[in-house]
Structure 1
Amino acid sequence: MTSLTEFPPDALNVLMRAIEEGEIVVPRVGLINSNNGFRLVSAQNPYDDVGTSKVSMGIFDRLCKLKMTYQSKEEEEQIVKLRTDCKDEKLVEQAVEITRRTRNHPEIKQGASVRGAMHFVEIFQQLTDLEKENIQDFEIYLSLALDAAYMALGSKIWLVETSQKTPEQVIKQIVLEVLRIISPSEETRIRPYRMSEPSSEFLEESRKFFRSSNQ
């Protein structure tokens, strides 16, 4: 089962007999018995506001919980390369790092999965196709990276209830840190509802880093 919380309660109640007794009654077919070793395996995403239902304690009492964590950085990079067919290792590494930082940011309650990195790479590649030769310009590269991050991650992160920032502000902060335009310590100087713009020193160092990494 793809997502346990997306099934209506009546459908889940039908499964209780299959879980408990290893059999189920199908209309016009009759009784169907399971084979030895039958297991019901399902995933459960966090409860959303729409489209999910609460699972009864009767169902939970018959299930065992296996908590899954995110893949390692190396595994996520391989997934992104496989799903996007991207040959630019630097872009893949940046996309994965930006996405992973959404999972431990103090302003974010729930970060993005590896899908965020996949969508970042796909969007960035399509945006660069429009710029072509201008992509070697640092300011254009940064602008495209921010646009791709806003579109790829904006709908995939949940901010904490007490946050005074927008998702775009938090995403911008993460992108600037990953691209080495600002340091993480500058986070303390960010005022509510405003993003800290990179200093001229950091911007010049970033241009040098960008040019050297593309030689």
Structure 2
Amino acid sequence: MKHLTTEWPLLKELEEQLVRTLQKVFAVLLAALLEEIDQQLAEARDKRRYQLKDKRPTTIQTLFGEVTFRRNYYYDRQTGNYTFLLDAELGFDGARSISPCLEETAVELAVECSSYRKAARTLESIVGYAVMSHEAIRQLVLEAPVSLHRPVSQRHGRVLFVEADGLFISRQGKGKRAKEEKILAVHEGWKRNGSKSG
């Protein structure tokens, strides 16, 4: 049997390289698609109402990385405001520089993870770079619609128990004060488990 002299990367390295390559291809394809849609909107617009001012570059963060493209900027003669028809047509706020899919994923991660920092780290591991800070995720959660809250089922108990306690933890280092870790449990009571009484 012949021995191969070439060194192949590990599967993990191959997978990571392929993901980064696919991210670059995605960015090019999405940018081209968005610019094509913008061009079609420019040709189909009401030219008496929307006056083309210029093309402006923008960069948005997506689940697949950063996408940079150029879009048309218009003056709306009817309202007196400036607008991007592409943003209105596709239902996103280009000024925020975050795709709606990334926003939704960030909010879902913030709800599922134990902290905003952990949600930011999870997003970073998915995308491959720090796409959003924990504070940006916090702001998205605060702005998120209340429909994300799930209805609570009918309560069965007549009494609600709230148990709270604190545990002081010594911190390493000279002059560092102990920190209190607060513990809270809320429940409606206990169910008997087994047949023993007593």
| Interval containing the TM-score (normalised by the shorter chain) | under 0.3
- State the TM-score, normalizing by the size of structure 1: 0.26
Higher alpha-carbon Rg: 2
- State the TM-score, normalizing by the size of structure 2: 0.27
User: Looking at both structures, which has the greater relative contact order when contacts are Cα pairs under 8 Å and sequence separation is at least 6?
Assistant: 1
* Larger helix percent: 1
